[in-house]
Amino acid sequence: MQNTLKASVAFEGVGLHSGKPARMVLIPAPAGHGIVFKRTDIALGNTVVPARWDLVERSPLCTRLVNGSGVSVSTVEHIMAALAGCGVHNALIEIDGPEVPIVDGSSAPFVRGIMEHGVQRLAAPIMAYEILKPVTVEKDGARATLLPSDRLTIEFHIDFAEAAIGRQSKVLDMRNGSFARELCDSRTFCRQADVETMQANGLALGGKPGENAVVFDGERVESGAGLRHSDEPVRHKMLDALGDLALAGGPILGRYVGERAGHALTNTLLRALFAEPGAVRAVACDAAMTARLPGQGLIWSEIPAEQRRVA
Ligand SMILES: [Zn+2]
């Protein structure tokens, strides 16, 4: 069955790229509502921004949703991953600024906030997207693929020149709370070489190395109290992939393979998937299918404990 939140939960903080503060409130919503953002700081026009793949604006560094009236919400991927990883299918997200708070750079504060109250079961089956045939997209040496499978598996490979990142690969079956246990506390990262370029382009203005992002500079790592996992970067890429795939509008039953992929390529993959005849179908999940979805089997004690919750 579909889920929503048992109670509203609020978070606040600055956006990673805009540096602008925002308060974000997750509010329970009925079955079939989906995940929908609403900008409460804009008085006029259509301020509702559904979390859907076809509203994603092409931007390489974060996932930004823009509705038909030009109203946007940026950096939605980490809250989308938290909701998907906790098995929350319906929520209204009121936000009074242009960008989701980056908090500690991971999804863990969101997961803790959501699971503190837990999820509420609703009287309607979960609609999932079953992958029926392989779809692949490639750009500039990066590749993203969806393959048929009876569950969501995320496989990721990265390869960076920075010695402290290097090559990292990981595969994870997303059942049994594995998102909360294995991925949710892995933080946003970047290379020192990229920081100045981003800031010159008006991005990463809210970034605080070691506090809400991990910065790699050759063999040097600015990571606060140290990395949370030795392969924290590839885990964060998997977190991003879960959040970006959640923009399909429901859980995906399939195997995602990302090779040096990023937000834009995963969105291109969803666009290719829905454009390809016979590549995907919407299915109402029975009990056995539901048991294989992310969020099933999530245990509070397995959620990493050290995160700061902002509000
Ligand atoms: Zn991210």
The structure's pTM equals 0.95
Catalytic residue, chosen from 33, 89, 117, 263, is 263
Residue 236, marked binder: yes
Give 196 Cα–ligand 1 centroid separation in angstroms.
19
Q: How confident is the model at residue 218 (pLDDT cuts 50, 70, 90)?
A: confident
The pLDDT value recorded for residue 37 is: 98
In the predicted model, is pLDDT for residue 309 greater than 90?
A: no
Residue 33, marked binder: no
Residue 174 burial (10 A CB sphere; 0-12, 13-18, 19+)? buried
Give 236 Cα–ligand 1 centroid separation in angstroms.
6
Give 124 Cα–ligand 1 centroid separation in angstroms.
31
The pLDDT value recorded for residue 306 is: 61
The Cα–Cα gap between 237 and 256 comes to 12
The pLDDT value recorded for residue 297 is: 79
pLDDT in tens, 50-67: 999 999 997 768 899 999
Give 139 Cα–ligand 1 centroid separation in angstroms.
19
In the predicted model, is pLDDT for residue 193 greater than 60?
A: yes
pLDDT in tens, 140-151: 999 999 999 999
Q: Look up 229 and say whether it is catalytic.
A: no
Q: Which amino acid is at 214?
A: V
Residue 78, marked binder: yes
